[in-house]
Structure 1
Amino acid sequence: MRKRTSRLLAAAVTAALTATTLTATATAATAGPASASSAAAASDPFYSYDGSTPLDSLAPGTVLRTRTLPYHVLGLPTPVTAVQLLYRTADAQGRPAANVTTVLRSLTGDSGRAVSYQSFYDSLDPADGPSRAVAGNLSLGGAIPSAEAIFLVPLLAQGYNVVIPDTEGQSADFGAGPEYAITTLDSIRAATGSPATGLTPDTRFGLMGYSGGAVASSWAAALAPGYAPEVNARLVGYAEGGLLVDPAHNIRYIDGSLMWSGIIPMALIGVSRSSGIDLTPYLNDYGRSVYRQLEHASLTDALGHYPGLSWKAMAKPQYADPNSVEPYVAAVNRTNLGSAPTPTVPGYLAQGNAGVLEGTFANPPGIGTGDGVAVAGDVRALARQYCASGTAALAYQQYDALSHFGVPAAWAPQALAWLNDRFAGRPAPSDCGHIPAGNSLAPQQPVPAS
């Protein structure tokens, strides 16, 4: 009976996804980052904590509000129940903050297994967060977490509970990897501490994410032993692809890209916002103009909109080398996974290396090629570092003929199979000893302004 129910509900979700995907083009053509639905989402009182107890007096992961609603895809409800939690966490500067996570209940009622799926919504607008898309709000950037239903349906069909945190927090701190980790780990604490979710402190978790979601998953796996050891004890592993390891390398790699160069100003805005610094004094008039255009933008506003954009085109002449901007150097070093602890649980990393297919032709010295935005040599270096310094098995797969947009079709089924095996208790495979050499992940060093 349970299997039959699972099949029926999974079919319903798939049907809803198919129907809404047919309207995706029309939605993208009419929605915008400042749409009325985005404004409504921003004013949703569920996202505000107004309790009498100060946030800094509450333990991380404490549930502050709860609501239950249908899981929406591109604004249309599906038969799947979503429980949303406002919970206590912290921002990139360690200040107490309230954030939202979504729990999609297992279709079989299994409370023992869950996957924390980290979205690649990659936005500087809080209205684009996955929780708002799940609640039925529509925005152009919010279409990304709706499209990710294609990765969630197989998880739900196999009986997993799925937890989806708003990894960037309510300030939309794009690119702040350590903050992504904290919001993810506190989300798991909240999900397993709320009676509304059906999860318990004994529920085992896997981490899964691609691109920006991989950043969150990697940082969560790295920081879990120190920040949330009780969560780490229940992790079976992490499966991710398209990982951005060293932001300084990524920015140099996409410099001048036909598709991905718009991420450069988005990264500067995210770094500034999360670190509490101001990088605009280092930008020229054009750079400040682009900065203003993208200050509340999503990935959809940047991709392909600034073909050939470079750091040098935005910076004042004396700051033509990004490493001449000391606050920038300090900020990107804080978000370099190469300087983070090594996870203690098994991992699976997948990475493309055909970035030319997405208009990224650069091959900078010491950085090399990648999938268009993520640097393959950085991912190999991180994998080798984990192999050398850790005790957990690590599987690595590089797709030399696939780009960033092409890898998910190959990665997702492999990631699901890998997670299934970890939950089943099978030994984790390891490619340690067979991973080609990568780049140096040493911290960036400042250079004098010219």
Structure 2
Amino acid sequence: MSRTSARLISAAVATAAAMTAAPAAVATESAPAATATTVASTASDPFYAYDGSEPLSSFAPGAVLKTRTLPYHLVGIPTPLRAIQLLYRSTDAQGRPVANVTTVVRSLTGDGSKAVSYQSFYDSLDPEDGPSRAIAGNLTLGGVIPNAEAVFMAPLLAKGYTLVIPDTQGQRAAFAAGPEYGTNTLDSIRAASRSAETGLGDDTRFGLLGYSGGAIATNWAAAMAPAYAPEVNRRLVGFAEGGLLVAPAHNLTYVDGSLAWSGVIPMAIIGVGRSFDIDVEPYLNSYGLKVSAELEKGSIIDALGHYPGLTWKKMAKPEYENLNTVPELVRAVNRINLGSAPTPTVPGFIAQGDAGVLEGTFSHHPGIGTGDGVMVAGDVRALARQYCATGNGAIEYRQYELLSHIGVPVIWAPLAMDWLDDRFAGRTAPSDCGRIPAGNSLAPEEPTPRS
């Protein structure tokens, strides 16, 4: 960690504390004729709904539909910092037009020439937990995470970066559905660049940054950008991420029966079901239905450590105890496997822990191996090697053998920020290609016939 980054991290904590302790009441600015000024952040908040006369499909992805400016809130308390929120047109995992929200926070020292798209790890099945709602003042248990992430954002603002913070999971909160995270992120950048209020434009360069759930969005955005948003891809300087979900079928096996992370099994099944319109209830037994109902609008805070020893088998009807006997779920899980997605064309910094036993995940299945408690280290190594082999020679990979999923961000965050600083400065990206240890197969899963 550089001394500069260490000082910035310390400053971030102080900034967050100061912002919370000494809030300033700032009135909402008036907006142009086609924008909204409501600042409430509840389920009935009209800002989140597209209510125009033209069909949503008539707008290009990234089109700005509404704009509002409000105070940036921390734990529900307004601060002097201003946030610009945009309702914009995006695309879901099935190619359908959707409306989503992103937040832009302008640096007091920046000129709009450089920006970081920060993907939050809010990880929730409740849209109310999204970062835009936390920033607008809505205080929920799941929304604690976007508030805590101010510690990552303050150093970036201090360095002159404008921040763009999308609600990566969309308005249906499609947890774990990577392609949807990717389009929401890329269209958020498009929208932020098209809004006069943000100070960003077609010449603004962007870096992508995210950990855990934010890494899902970061990597999918980097992978999808060349084809889905080539004009955005041309302005990307790189992507920095840690704690990455690569092959979800492996993760579901890895956390099966774990002490802390097993609750992500029903969360992922529900989220993927939402994204691909799969009704998962016919596959669940009475206990599975109970867990599903408990987590239908649950966040990672509701799941983490609440279901120790939970397995898919405990939730499934006897004929579906092997998840691979459910073809529609197998197909959906394959569609969110990063191993089958394109290779990013911009440099990447990828970090991964491998001390999952510290968080109560003791499994070591053949072909899967160990991880950080929830993410599989062999999958992440395999993806990094795949990127190197398919033409991206600017991949830096770091694996921390003694750190778990919750421990890695302490090391990762300052390194990722320094790495992005170097990309914006035009320095040659470092590469670990040729030195990354072998990983797992990322081949799609094959459905298993039911006996």
- The interval holding the TM-score normalised by the smaller chain is over 0.9
Q: Deviations over 1:406-447 (max 9, x none)?
A: 000000000000000000000000000000000000000000
In structure 1, give the amino acid aligned to 2:429.
A
Q: Which residue of 1 aligns with 2:296?
A: 295
Q: What is the distance in 1 between the residues matched to 2:330 and 2:447?
A: 6
2:411 aligns to what? 410
Inter-partner Cα distance in structure 1 for 2:408 and 2:89: 35
2:450 paired residue number: 449
- Alpha-carbon displacement from aligned partner over 1:11-52 (angstroms, at most 9, x marks no partner): 69834436759xxxxxxxxxxxxxxxxx96111111011111
Paired residue for 1:393?
394
* Distance in 1 (alpha carbons) for counterparts of 2:11 and 2:427: 29
One-letter amino acid of the counterpart of residue 190, structure 2? R
For the structure 1 residues 214 and 161, does the alpha-carbon distance in structure 2 shift closer, same or farther, using more than 3 Å as the test?
same
8 Å CA contact retained: 1:13, 1:79 = no
Provide the TM-score with structure 2 as the length reference: 0.92
SS of alignment partner, residue 243 of structure 1? coil
The amino acid that maps onto 1:195 is A
- Aligned Cα root-mean-square deviation (Å): 1.7
Corresponding residue for residue 14 of structure 1: 14
Corresponding residue of 1:71: 72
By how many angstroms is 1:341 displaced?
0.1
Which residue number in structure 1 is paired with residue 420 of structure 2? 419
1:121-200 equivalences in 2 (<5 Å): 121-200=122-201
Q: Which residue of 1 aligns with 2:248?
A: 247
The answer for the alignment partner of 1:273 in structure 2 is: 274
What amino acid sits opposite 1:309 in the alignment?
L
Measure how far apart 1:384 and its partner are.
Answer: 0.2
Answer whether contact 2:15 2:154 (CA < 8 A) is retained: no
Give the drift of 1:78.
2.0
The aligned amino acid for 2:354 is N
* Aligned mates of 2:54, 2:373 — CA distance in 1: 47
Q: Which moved more, 1:363-372 or 1:69-78?
A: 69-78
Which runs of 5 or more structure 1 residues have no equivalent in the other structure?
A: 1-6, 22-38
Matches within 5 A, 1:424-435: 424-435=425-436
Distance 2:273 2:18 in 1: 39
Counterpart of 2:326, as a letter, is: V
- Structure 1 CA distance, aligned partners of 2:173 and 2:127? 5
- Please tell me the residue identity of whatever aligns with 1:161: T
Instruction: Give the whole-Å Cα distance in 2 for the aligned partners of 1:185 and 1:249.
Output: 27
Q: In structure 2, the residue corresponding to 1:41 is in which secondary structure?
A: coil
CA–CA distance in 2 between the matches of 1:256 and 1:134? 35
Match in the other structure for 1:109: 110
**Distance (whole Å) between structure 2 residues aligned to residue 166 and residue 75 of structure 1:** 18
Contact kept, 8 Å, 1:124 with 1:295, in 2: the verdict is yes
Q: Distance in 1 between matches of 2:50 and 2:406?
A: 37
C-alpha contact (below 8 Å) 1:257/1:360 kept by paired residues: yes
Compared CA separation, residues 320 and 342, structure 1 to 2 (3 A) = same
Task: Give yes or no for contact 1:353–1:402 (8 Å, CA) kept in 2.
Answer: yes
Distance 1:372 1:158 in 2: 33
The count of corresponding residues between Structure 1 and Structure 2 is 426
Q: TM-score, normalised by structure 1?
A: 0.92
Structure 1 match to 2:30: none
Q: Is the 8 A contact 1:221 1:343 kept in 2?
A: yes
d(CA) in 2 for partners of 1:162, 1:101: 10
Where do residues 338-349 of structure 1 align in structure 2 (5 Å cutoff)?
338-349=339-350
Q: CA deviation at 1:317?
A: 1.4
Which residue is equivalent to 1:329?
Answer: 330
Shift of 1:122: 0.5
Deviation at 1:391, TM superposition (A): 3.1
Alpha-carbon shift at residue 364 of structure 1 (Å): 1.0
Whether 2:266 is the aligned partner of 1:260: answer no
Does the 8 Å contact 1:184/1:216 carry over to 2?
A: yes
- Measure, in 1, the Cα distance between the counterparts of 2:150 and 2:230: 30
The residue type paired with residue 259 of structure 2 is L
CA contact (8 A) 1:166 1:183 kept: yes
Please give the per-residue CA displacement for 1:367-421, whole angstroms capped at 9, x wherever unaligned: 0000000000000000000000023400000000000000000000000000000
Contact 1:347–1:395 (CA under 8 A) maintained in structure 2: yes
- For residue 396 of structure 1, give the secondary structure of its aligned residue in structure 2: strand
Q: 1:54 deviation in Å?
A: 1.0
Amino acid at match of 1:366: G
Q: Which runs of 5+ in 2 are unaligned?
A: 1-6, 22-39
Q: Partner residue of 2:3?
A: none
- Structure 2: which amino acid aligns with 1:162? L
Comparing 11-20 with 199-208, greater Cα deviation is found at 11-20
Q: Conserved in 1, the CA contact under 8 Å of 2:19 and 2:74? A: no
Alpha-carbon distance in structure 1 between the residues aligned to 2:171 and 2:74: 21
* Structure 1 segments of 4+ aligned residues over 3 angstroms from their partners: 10-21
Match of 1:437 in 2: 438
- SS in structure 2 at match of 1:109: coil
Percent of pairs with identical residues: 71
Q: Deviations over 1:141-166 (max 9, x none)?
A: 01111101111011011110000000
The structure-2 alpha-carbon separation of the partners of 1:420 and 1:109, relative to structure 1 and needing over 3 Å to count, comes to: closer
| Preserved CA contact (<8 Å) 2:41 2:137 | no
Please give the alpha-carbon distance, in whole angstroms, between the structure 2 residues aligned to 1:87 and 1:299: 26
| 1:24 aligned partner | none
